[in-house]
């Protein structure tokens, strides 16, 4: 527990520092950090997928480079006049690359094809969304983090102390319904208070409450999805980059989904 708390404090300070100063002429610090995190996440997902001495072929490493390229292109061109054209060309090229590999590389089957493409999108969309939200303003990202951090924190501690009913025992045996409800209530409430106090949105208070609750639900869903991936792969953590917290995917699994969801909402409304 001590290691977990110390690591969490260091992560909050480091990420918070880069988040706060990462605008204007220094925006490359946050954007570059996000590109790095997404690339490491793709590596973690790939390396754990082919663990325990399973053969690793050259095309298993391809998603790492393609994730890097995908996130970098979004960072460089999001909001520009060429963005839609560049994304269309990239996705088209991605499809051609993998179908050609699937055709000529006998060791790649349909499952490998699907997992490779899933790796790229699973480990990139959420981080791209973080850059998008940061370019709107700092408060938008802080609002998201308030919800995800407090949802996770209250779900963890309330679940340990008062959890009696398992939420999804076959996916994550330690998570409880009581913890999930606590995370939803406190994460949603604190997120709403933050949004109202700092005037993050121009929406009606009812919409902000519903949005904060939805983000908390999506955040917990992202955590459960990551847990199911790990359970299917027979692992506890994706890596040990952050002592007590695991790897990039372990630490950002819920934030990735929440950021992507918030970006989607802001694009639609």
Summarised one tens digit per residue, pLDDT across range 98-135 is 999 999 998 888 888 888 999 999 999 999 999 999 99
**Average predicted confidence (pLDDT) for the chain:** 89
Whether residue 53 is predicted with pLDDT greater than 60 in this model: the reply is no
Could you give the residue ranges of the DSSP H alpha helices within 79-176? Answer: 83-104, 110-122, 125-136, 138-162
User: What's the whole-model pTM score?
Assistant: 0.90
Contacts for 99-104: CB closer than 8 Å, 24+ residues apart = 101/59, 101/62
Report how far residue 110's alpha carbon sits from residue 88's, in angstroms, rounded to the nearest whole number.
24
The dihedrals phi and psi of 173, each to the nearest 5 degrees, come to -60, -25
Q: pLDDT grade, residue 66 (50/70/90)?
A: very high
Q: What gap in Å lies between CA 230 and CA 242, rounded to an integer?
A: 17
* Per-residue tokens: 45: 């997902």
Write out 224-252 in H/E/C secondary structure. HHHHHHHHHHCCCCCCCCECCCECHHHHH
Residue 1: which pLDDT band, with cuts at 50, 70 and 90?
Answer: low
Using DSSP's 3-state secondary structure scheme, residue 167 falls into strand
Query: How many distinct structural domains can be found in the chain?
Result: 1
190 neighbors 147 (Cβ within 8 angstroms): yes
Domain ranges, residue 95: 2-268
> Which residues are within 8 A (CB) of 106 and not within 5 positions of it... i.e. 6 or more apart?
none
Mapped onto helix, strand or coil, the DSSP state of residue 110 is helix
**Each residue's pLDDT tens digit, 167-208:** 888 888 888 899 999 999 999 999 999 999 999 999 999 999
> Which residues partner with 172 through β-bridges?
168
Q: How far apart are CA 182 and CA 184, in angstroms?
A: 5
């Amino acid at each position: 527990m001590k290691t977990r708390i110390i690591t969490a404090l260091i992560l909050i300070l480091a990420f918070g520092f880069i988040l706060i100063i990462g605008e204007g002429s220094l925006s490359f610090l946050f954007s570059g950090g996000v590109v790095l995190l997404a690339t490491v996440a793709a590596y973690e997902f790939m390396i754990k997928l082919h663990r325990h001495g399973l053969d690793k072929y050259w095309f298993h490493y391809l998603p790492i480079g393609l994730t890097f390229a995908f996130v970098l292109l979004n960072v460089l061109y999001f909001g520009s006049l060429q963005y839609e054209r560049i994304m269309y060309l990239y996705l088209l090229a991605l499809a051609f690359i993998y179908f050609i590999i699937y055709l000529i590389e006998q060791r790649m089957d349909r499952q490998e094809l699907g997992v490779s493409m899933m790796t790229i999108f699973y480990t990139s969309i959420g981080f791209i969304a973080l850059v998008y939200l940061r370019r709107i303003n700092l408060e938008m990202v802080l609002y998201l983090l308030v919800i995800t951090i407090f949802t996770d924190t209250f779900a963890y501690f309330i679940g340990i102390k008062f959890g009696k009913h398992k939420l999804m025992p076959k996916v994550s045996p330690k998570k409880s319904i009581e913890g999930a409800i606590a995370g939803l209530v406190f994460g949603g409430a604190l997120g709403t208070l933050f949004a109202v106090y700092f005037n993050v949105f121009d929406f009606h208070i009812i919409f902000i409450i519903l949005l904060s609750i939805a983000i908390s639900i999506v955040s917990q869903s992202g955590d459960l999805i990551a847990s199911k991936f790990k359970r299917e792969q027979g692992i506890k953590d994706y890596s040990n980059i952050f002592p007590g917290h695991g790897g990039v995917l372990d630490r950002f699994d819920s934030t990735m989904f929440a950021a992507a969801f918030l970006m989607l909402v802001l694009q639609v409304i």
